[in-house]
Chain A
Amino acid sequence: MAKILVVDDEEHIRLLYSEELSEEGYEVITADSGYKLLEKIEKEKPDLVILDIKMVDYNGLDLLQDIRAKFFDLPVILSTAYDTFKEDIKSIAADYYVVKSFDLTELKNKIAMALEAKYSQEE
């Protein structure tokens, strides 16, 4: 069972993602900010991270840079309300991005693709 870390400062998003992704068979853990995120990743060893771009205290794109520098092949999906972040070159380091929605079909597809890509390279 793949373990997914959801990093988002909005509680309803964390709840929504947790419920729906658990139903898909994923083990879901959450974080409500970027505080000590790298330590959390080190300890929990998730297979994939869903990262909110705009949190009150943290910039998701900066966190993405930190994650990539330490865990170069950990899949990260950016979760965002708008896609204007694409103008920032840092966003290239994400596997995929999804615009936040109550319909998680796209997110689930992207999770499947990112995990499939990671596992195919590990074989």
Chain B
Amino acid sequence: MNADAQINVNGIDQAEIIVSIPSYDGRYDLAKTVSVVDRGLSEFFSSRNSVIVNCDYSTNGATKDIFLGTETRIPKIYIGSQDSGGKGLVLRASLQKVIELNTSMFVIVEPDASNIQPSWIHKLLEPLEKNFQFVAPLYVHHKDEDLLNSMLIYPMTRSLYGWRIRKPVGGELALRRELVERMLEMDVWNQYVNSEGLAVCLSTLAMCFRQPMCQAFINQPRKTIRKEEPEFFSYFNDVVGTVFSLMEPLEKYWKRVKWSRPTAILGIGSEDAEPAEEIETDLDGLHERFLGGFRKYEEFWREVVSQSTYNKVQEIRNLDMNHFSFPAQTWTTILYDFAVSFRGKDDEYREHLIEALLPLFYGKALSYVRKTERMSVQQAEDAIETECVVFEENKPYLISRWEEN
């Protein structure tokens, strides 16, 4: 990280609260996000010493002027990076600011939510004042939204580390200083974390450290643009790579954990929740991508997963759309087998491995969307919970495969 790329406009050397906003090539409305954060801090934490930090990983520094040019009451610090680092790398530089500025509370706010409100800042920070160490968001959501999290990241992190944090992938997060200090000491900062995997990494470490953590209920959906190919694969690669890669350094934490524990939900008020927008999922597209995977990865899958799981995948291949179903047991063992295969391999193999997982993920996503088509959000959540229990029940399989590998 190039320290010369930091601009501390107001010469701030101490701040109780840091709100860190990552940005990249002006893709989202950074000025709006900065203004909302400014209003949130001014309205709810006016007696606190706060600073807004922009972590800019643009290739051309385009967002610097937008950030510095946005009028705010709260002082600002710009951290730029024009090297090859990704979002996680610059965000980590803002984590370092927690130490430098003797900060007690740290928040990450992503700029891609078009409907962010000042109250979100309040909801994320309030639990930290009640001595929670880590706060993850819990937004109102459509049942088909963020299937990567619902089908893969949430079940995996929950079964591995034993805490039910429904959205470990962010977008917004809040932490106390004590936790940040411990996290910075960990040897986990790899290429996946340094790209899009930072939120998953921070959530995972919070679970490992077993500090008081909670979910902040935000009674609104998080409106953002859905990631499409090829951007989705890049994101998939980073977050899945983060989950798999953290299993090695965090082995002593996850191997001992059995079942899972809930976390507190804070911020549930009397106000009605805003309903999530309808989402149209391209079922045929998911099916085609799943079937397309056989052309490219069939032999590779045979090497990675057990024979019985491979046979099951072949059975699923032959199901038509009306009867399509990807059982939780098969999906669980696939993910566990892939996680074991990831261990100790070089970057090239790992990239190929995650790429080969993608069509199977599309198959699983298709199965879930079809299964929950006529369900309410609550019923779909129950279905996800049931799948998570299958992950937990099969953890001994993961441990035995991990140990024999």
Contact = CB atoms under 8 A, between A and B. Distances in A.
Nearest to B213: A72
B259 A89 contact: no
Interface residues of B, number: 26
Interface in A66-107: 68-69, 72-73, 75, 86-87, 89-90, 92-95
A65 B256 contact: no
B266 A121 contact: no
A68 B217 CA distance: 14
A41 to B, nearest CB: 15
A93 B263 contact: yes
B162 A117 contact: yes
A73 B265 contact: no
Given A92-B164, A120-B258, A72 B132 contact: yes
B252 to A, nearest CB: 10
Nearest to A120: B258
Nearest to B266: A69
A44 B214 CA distance: 24
Nearest to B253: A121
Contact of A89 (B214, B256, B258, B265): B265
Contacts of A87: 378
Contact of B262 (A86, A93, A122): A93
A120 B254 CA distance: 10
A78 to B, nearest CB: 11
B259 A94 contact: no
Interface in B236-285: 256-266, 268
Nearest to B377: A87
Contacts of B257: 117, 120-121
Contact of A120 (B162, B215, B266): B162
Contacts of A122: 210
Contacts of B268: 65, 89-90
Contacts of A94: 262
Interface in B122-137: 130, 132
A89 to B, nearest CB: 6
B293 interface: no
Given A72-B132, A87-B378, A89-B217, A117 B265 contact: no
Contacts of B260: 117
Contact of A72 (B256, B258, B263): B263
A118 B261 contact: yes
A19 interface: no
A73 B210 contact: yes
A93 B138 CA distance: 12
B261 A73 contact: yes
A47 to B, nearest CB: 13
A10 interface: no
A116 B262 contact: no
Interface in B96-134: 130, 132
Contacts of B265: 65, 68, 89-90, 92-93
A123 interface: yes
Interface of B: 130, 132, 138, 162, 164, 166, 210, 212-215, 217, 256-266, 268, 378, 382
16 contacts: A68-B264, A69-B130, A72-B264, A86-B378, A86-B382, A89-B138, A90-B265, A92-B166, A95-B262, A114-B259, A114-B261, A116-B258, A116-B259, A118-B261, A120-B256, A120-B259
